[in-house]
């Protein structure tokens, strides 16, 4: 498949925090595929990156900006299969984080989540570390694509096994603690999809920091359904507005990227 028309936009709100620690980037570029040292094909790709600085850690905003800019600048230069390029770009970002920490002792402990998404004619690919969110809205249903590397899934499993109540799981003080992040150290958990997820006309991809989690899944579905015929900017703003309308105490930063596919046709 090849995308004829797509649109994208991002929107952020600081929430109830003192500073913005989310960062993101979106780029459309032509990528050269090489074979035996020669360019033999060029394809259009859209890449999107979102990073969320680790709250309460030194340099969270610096970490997210560093990871985002590093990923954005390195991914388009790497050749080979998309999953390999995503993983190598992640590794470069982690090494750059380590170098930044070595240069400034005040940045000890800084880190961030990272969600890197690449879209080509076959569909969507991603690499994810941490608890940032990747959703696919397809045929009026919202499906979460990536893994959650916080403690939330662990607590939810305890609820399913009858070892914890749902109320205890939702309000547990360690629920949002990360099990994996980019800190310059070994990355403990990486979600890398090796099988592309195809996309269709009318689909929306939603990338978000965990601040969007203030909205429940069905609430997100309602907002997207109401705005699915609008443009990407309106949809991203509507989701962020939905979070802020809840007026949650100590609301985290929230960032939403919306990528929509208006027309898809078979590749010649």
Listed in sequence order, the residues at least 6 apart from 139 whose beta carbon sits closer than 8 Å to its beta carbon are 202
Q: What is the mean pLDDT of the chain?
A: 90
Q: Choose the most confident range, by mean pLDDT, from 55-64, 174-183, 257-266.
A: 174-183
State the pTM of this model: 0.91
Any idea what the Cα angle at residue 213 is, between residues 193 and 116, rounded to 5°? 30
Residue 264 scores a pLDDT above 70: no
Question: What is d(CA 189, CA 180) in angstroms, rounded to the nearest whole number?
Answer: 5
The candidate with the shortest Cα–Cα distance to 240, out of 228, 225, 249, 252, is 252
For 40, the token pair is 């033999």
Question: What is d(CA 148, CA 130) in angstroms, rounded to the nearest whole number?
Answer: 6
Helix, coil or strand: residue 219:
helix
Predicted pLDDT of residue 254: 98
| Domains of the chain, each with CATH number or no CATH | 2-144+183-265 (3.60.40.10)
In the structure, what pLDDT confidence band is assigned to residue 44 with cuts at 50, 70 and 90?
Answer: confident
Predicted pLDDT of residue 262: 75
Question: 67-81 pLDDT, tens per residue?
Answer: 999 999 999 999 999
> What average pLDDT does range 100-127 have in this prediction?
93
Listed in sequence order, the residues at least 6 apart from 257 whose beta carbon sits closer than 8 Å to its beta carbon are 8, 9, 10, 24, 26, 48, 50, 205, 206, 207, 208, 236
> What average pLDDT does range 228-234 have in this prediction?
93
Q: Are 205 and 223 in contact (CB under 8 A)?
A: no
Residue 40 scores a pLDDT above 60: no
- φ, ψ dihedrals at 264, nearest 5°: -130, 140
For 18, the token pair is 């003192």
For 149, the token pair is 């590397």
> What average pLDDT does range 208-221 have in this prediction?
95
Residue 200 scores a pLDDT above 80: yes
Of residues 267 and 249, more confidence is placed in 249
In the structure, what pLDDT confidence band is assigned to residue 37 with cuts at 50, 70 and 90?
Answer: very low
């Amino acid at each position: 498949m090849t995308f004829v028309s797509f649109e994208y936009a991002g929107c952020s709100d600081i929430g109830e925090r003192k500073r913005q620690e989310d960062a993101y980037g979106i780029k459309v570029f032509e990528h050269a595929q090489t074979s035996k040292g020669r360019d033999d094909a060029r394809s259009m790709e859209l890449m999107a990156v979102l990073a969320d600085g680790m709250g309460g850690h030194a340099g969270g905003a610096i970490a997210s900006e560093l990871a985002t800019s590093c990923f954005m600048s390195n991914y388009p230069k790497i050749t080979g299969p998309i999953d390999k390029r995503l993983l190598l770009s992640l590794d470069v970002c982690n090494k750059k984080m380590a170098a930044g920490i070595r240069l400034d002792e005040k940045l000890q402990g800084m880190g961030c989540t990272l969600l890197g998404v690449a879209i080509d004619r076959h569909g969507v690919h991603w690499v994810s570390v941490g608890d940032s969110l990747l959703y696919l809205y397809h045929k009026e249903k919202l499906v979460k694509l990536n893994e959650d590397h916080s403690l939330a899934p662990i607590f939810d499993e305890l609820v399913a096994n009858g070892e914890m109540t749902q109320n205890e799981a939702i309000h547990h003080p360690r629920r949002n603690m990360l099990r994996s992040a980019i800190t310059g150290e070994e990355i403990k958990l990486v979600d890398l999809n090796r099988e592309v997820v195809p996309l269709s006309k009318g689909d929306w991809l939603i990338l978000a920091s965990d601040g969007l989690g203030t909205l429940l899944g069905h609430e997100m579905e309602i907002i997207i359904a109401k705005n699915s015929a609008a443009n990407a900017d309106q949809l991203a703003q509507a989701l962020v507005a939905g979070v802020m309308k809840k007026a949650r105490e100590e609301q985290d930063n929230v960032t939403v990227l919306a990528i929509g596919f208006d027309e898809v046709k078979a590749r010649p």
